[in-house]
């Protein structure tokens, strides 16, 4: 999984897996779901990200299910 922020487009993309996008659907205003040709979810795009995501310059992520000891933060 990869998370990218494009400052020029003000969009966050969460890429779940590398695959060609065959279809994109705006599920809710400003939230676009990208699908492959088999209907599998490939990516999630959040448009107008600065207005939708608090502290966009800081990412926290959690790996596993073992609580705070498994959490990491990146700035």
Tell me: the pLDDT tens digits for 23-65?
A: 999 999 999 999 999 999 999 999 999 998 887 777 777 677 6
Per-residue confidence (pLDDT) for residue 46, from 0 to 100:
95
Look-up of token digits 């990218």 = 4
| Top-confidence residue, 59 or 5 | 5
Domain boundaries, the chain: 2-74
The pLDDT confidence band at residue 73, using thresholds 50, 70 and 90, is very low
Question: What are the backbone dihedrals phi and psi of residue 19, each rounded to the nearest 5 degrees, phi first?
Answer: -160, 150
Per-residue confidence (pLDDT) for residue 70, from 0 to 100:
45
């Amino acid at each position: 999984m990869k998370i990218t922020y494009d400052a020029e487009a003000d969009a966050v993309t969460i890429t779940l897996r590398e695959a060609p996008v065959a279809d994109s659907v705006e599920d809710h205003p400003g939230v676009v779901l990208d699908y492959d040709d088999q209907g599998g979810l490939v990516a999630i795009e959040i448009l107008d990200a600065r207005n939708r995501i608090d502290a966009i310059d800081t990412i926290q992520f959690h790996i596993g299910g073992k609580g705070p000891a498994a959490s990491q933060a990146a700035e």
